[in-house]
């Protein structure tokens, strides 16, 4: 899987994750799919609703946020591509907690935030057998879906 | 017959369909029918025989956990929905 995101949208989500430090933060990625490539056109910042004393190492988006963002994407012919979350002072590598809670098909963008500053972003996808993650390619540009965008589809 | 909305991450297992017709008079029977129609869904909804705890089933706008869980009765024409809890952690 390749995830293409503009530097502006990546900056927006990582700035949010720096602001939630030392707790975890996250949100959803919306956009277009073409083959194995996903173009992010929107970033939705979503509050961490895990128990507050656990937020330093856990993130949870409440069901209502998923419902609202998926409905809005469906209605506009867009796709809910996946979600992002931070690993404060920890590598951008999926944990066992990430794996057991992961969904297939989704793009999992994990951002390592160290001492309050973004350090590394890496892209992952759950393997079909749910036993591991496969690393994808994170690309920064806006060119892939130019034609579709010009047709007013986002 | 009821309908169930499939969340985006699972639509590749339902032929790309966002909504599927399902039969059954309880939530449990509905999910059984769904996973019989689309067996590859099962490992993502169940851990063994137990529904995964990050799988939420709604009828309309109500989580069935606040009714009778998997025993909640389903009426013909009801609109069900699978809503994933999206969670992560280091």
Domain ranges of chain B: 2-84
Q: How many domains does chain A have?
A: 1
pLDDT score of A104 more than 50: yes
Q: Would you call A63 and B83 a contact, using CB atoms and an 8 Å cutoff?
A: yes
Minimum distance, in Å, between the CA of residue A149 and any CA atom of chain B: 21
CB contact under 8 A, A101 and B83: no
Tell me the average pLDDT of chain B. Answer: 95
For residue range B43-56, what is the model confidence (pLDDT) as tens digits? Answer: 999 999 899 988 99
How many A×B Cβ pairs under 8 Å? Answer: 86
**pTM, to two decimals:** 0.90
Task: Please report residues of A whose CB lies closer than 8 A to that of B63.
Answer: 63
Complex confidence, ipTM:
0.89
CATH number at residue A56: 3.40.140.10
Candidate CATH numbers 3.10.20.30, 3.40.50.720, 3.30.300.180, 3.20.20.150; the one for domain B2-84 = 3.10.20.30
Beta bridge partners of B5: B19, B81
A79 interfaces chain B, CB cutoff of 8 Å: yes
Strand B86-88 and strand A59-61: pairing? antiparallel
Residue A122, pLDDT > 70, answer yes
Task: Give the nearest partner residue to B44 out of A57, A58, A103, using CB atoms.
Answer: A103
DSSP labels, B22-54: E--SBHHHHHHHHHHHSGGGHHHHEETTEEPTT
Considering only CB atoms, which chain A residues are within 8 Å of B18? 74
pLDDT higher than threshold 90 for residue A146: no
pLDDT digits over B25-38, tens only?
Answer: 999 999 999 999 99
Segment 8-27 of chain B within 8 Å of chain A by CB: 8-13, 18
Domain encompassing residue A93: 2-150
Mean pLDDT for chain A overall: 92
Position A154 confidence tier, pLDDT thresholds 50, 70, 90: very low
Among the listed residues A75, A71, A60, A2, the one whose alpha carbon sits nearest the alpha carbon of residue A36: A2
């Amino acid at each position: 899987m390749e995830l293409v995101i503009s530097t502006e949208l990546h900056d927006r989500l990582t700035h949010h994750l720096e602001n939630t430090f030392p707790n975890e933060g996250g949100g959803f990625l919306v956009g277009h799919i073409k083959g194995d490539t996903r173009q992010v056109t929107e970033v939705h910042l979503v509050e961490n609703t895990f128990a507050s004393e656990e937020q330093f190492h856990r993130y949870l988006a409440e069901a209502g946020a998923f419902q609202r963002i998926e409905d809005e994407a469906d209605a506009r012919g867009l796709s809910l591509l996946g979600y992002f979350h931070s690993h404060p002072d920890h590598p951008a590598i999926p944990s066992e907690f990430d794996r057991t809670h992961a969904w297939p098909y989704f793009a999992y963008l994990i951002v390592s935030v160290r001492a309050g500053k973004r350090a590394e972003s890496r892209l992952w996808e759950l393997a079909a057998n749910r036993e591991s993650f496969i690393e994808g390619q994170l690309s920064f540009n806006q060119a892939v879906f130019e034609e579709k965008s010009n047709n007013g589809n986002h | 017959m009821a309908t169930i909305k499939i969340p985006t991450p699972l639509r590749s297992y339902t032929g790309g369909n966002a909504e599927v017709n399902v039969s059954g008079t309880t939530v449990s029977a509905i999910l059984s029918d769904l996973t019989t129609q689309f067996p590859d869904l099962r490992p993502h909804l169940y851990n063994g025989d137990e529904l995964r705890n990050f799988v939420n089933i709604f009828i309309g706008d109500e989580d069935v956990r606040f009714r009778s869980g998997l025993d909640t009765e389903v009426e013909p024409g009801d609109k069900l929905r699978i809503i994933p809890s999206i969670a992560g952690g280091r």
